[in-house]
Amino acid sequence: MTFDEIALVALQAAAGDAAAIGRVVTLGRQELHLPPRLAQAWEVSPEAQRARYCETLLFEKFGAKSVDSLDISAYEGATVLHDLNHPISSSLADRYDTILDLGTLEHIYDAAVAFENICRMVSIGGRVIHVVPSNGYSGHGLYQFSADLFHNLYNKNRGYTDVAVYVVRRDGPRDWFAVPTVIGSERINIESLGRLLLMCHARKTHNARAAIFQTDYMREWSLPNLLGIPSDCTLTARVGQEVSMARGTLGKTLLRLTPRPIRNVVGKVRSVAKLIISPVKSDKPLKHIRLGPTLDTCSSGGGGLDSLFLNV
């Protein structure tokens, strides 16, 4: 697990103008890997550069009040020993202002429990920062992650704000692209020739629990999705409970009387018509971000994303 220039950009993007990142925990102890030119550009002190791990840099550069490292084993000197496959103890709840996951979650089998542990450990007003594999990492860990997961994991219904998700090339130019949340039933599928990392940061505003579902399915479950006729269908869910659906009388009648083959054909016609009427350019939904000592937003421009392709 590595604290490199991508981790630096992720931390700066998340911290913004905040004076300090407070009480920090890294998931796994993070070795520091910064080439001299990057260390100079980021004004990293010689002491921090000589350190094997990132704690000195977090104290000096980002004003950390304390830095813990959490791991299943003490082989690298972690200060907190815990298996994230299992729920944390109450002593770790609301304990940290900043949680850094710089390539740990993909190695944990029960990722759902691990994510819930993170949500419990971060304090109100605190930040969660992930840098995890997206494309091209099959075999690196147990999982590769989708942007839609993080948009659904960290949102206002679950007590989070200031949510941002990016993908970045791991090899070659460090071009960053901001990935928006899915709108309606449109998925955002990202394909790439090279390896991609995904970065997410979010700030916790309050404690809340809500079930997590893929966004486009939420829309399918929430509407009759038949001939474009809306109803008062709603989806209600609670963690640990089955999903219940409530449809209006019109929606119930249509769904009961319309044969499934007809519904399927109508849905396909509507999808094709939407594409013809409103084509989506491959690079439009992503903002291009240049890597540097600061994050500079620039337009993606026509022509596009080089080795990165976006299909909506």
Residues 199-238 have pLDDT tens digits of 999 999 999 988 888 877 776 676 555 445 443 333 333 3
- Would you mind telling me the total number of residues written for the chain in this entry? 312
The two most distant CA atoms of the chain are separated, in Å, by 73
Claim to verify: residue 100 and residue 236 sit in the same structural domain:
no
Task: Name the DSSP class of 14.
Answer: H
First to last CA, the chain: 32
Is residue 89 domain-resident? Answer: yes
Give yes or no: residues 98 and 176 share one domain. yes
Judgement on whether residues 228 and 200 belong to the same structural domain of the protein: no
Give pLDDT, residue 285: 41
Whether 151 and 228 share a structural domain: no
pLDDT at position 193, please? 79
Residues 191 and 239 in one domain: no
pLDDT of residue 179 exceeding 60, the answer is yes
Does residue 129 sit within a domain?
A: yes
138 and 257: one domain?
no
Residues 185 and 263 occupy one common structural domain: no
SS (H, E, C) 180-235: CCCCCCCCCEEEECCCEEEEEEEEECCCCCCCCCCHHHHHHHHCCCCCCCCCCCEE
Q: What is the DSSP letter of 278?
A: S
What domain range includes position 238? Answer: 223-277
Same domain, 149 and 255: no
d(CA 69, CA 196): 26
**Torsion angle, alpha carbons of 97, 102, 103, 108, to 10:** -10
Asked if residue 237 and residue 188 are part of one domain, the reply reads: no
pLDDT category of residue 296 using cuts at 50, 70 and 90: very low
Residue 88 inside a domain? The answer is yes
Which of 97-101, 116-120, 242-246, 259-263 has the lowest average pLDDT? 242-246
Same domain flag for 51 and 182: yes
**How much is the average pLDDT of 24-31?**
96
Q: Check pLDDT > 90 for residue 156.
A: yes
| Residues in CB range of 12: below 8 A, 6 or more apart | 294, 295
The CATH number of the domain holding residue 198 is: 3.40.50.150
How far apart are alpha carbons 111 and 117 in whole angstroms? 10
More confident residue, 23 or 303: 23
CA distances, 237 to each of 221, 232, 245 (Å) = 12, 16, 9
Domain boundary residue, one of 174, 204, 234: 204
The larger pLDDT score, comparing residue 207 to residue 186, is at: 207
Decide if 122 is inside a domain.
yes
Are residue 41 and residue 102 in the same domain, yes or no?
Answer: yes
Alpha-carbon span 212 to 149, nearest angstrom: 8
* Residue pLDDT, tens place only, 130-154: 999 998 899 999 999 999 999 999 9
- Kindly report the pTM of this predicted structure: 0.74
Residue 77 pLDDT > 70: yes
156 within a domain of the structure (yes/no)? yes
Give the pLDDT mean for 230-257: 39
Could you tell me if residue 104 is inside a domain? Answer: yes
- Residue 279 scores a pLDDT above 70: no
Tell me what the mean pLDDT of segment 165-171 comes to.
Answer: 86
Domains: count for the chain: 2
Contact of 195 with 132, CB cutoff 8 Å: no
Same structural domain, 179 and 240? no
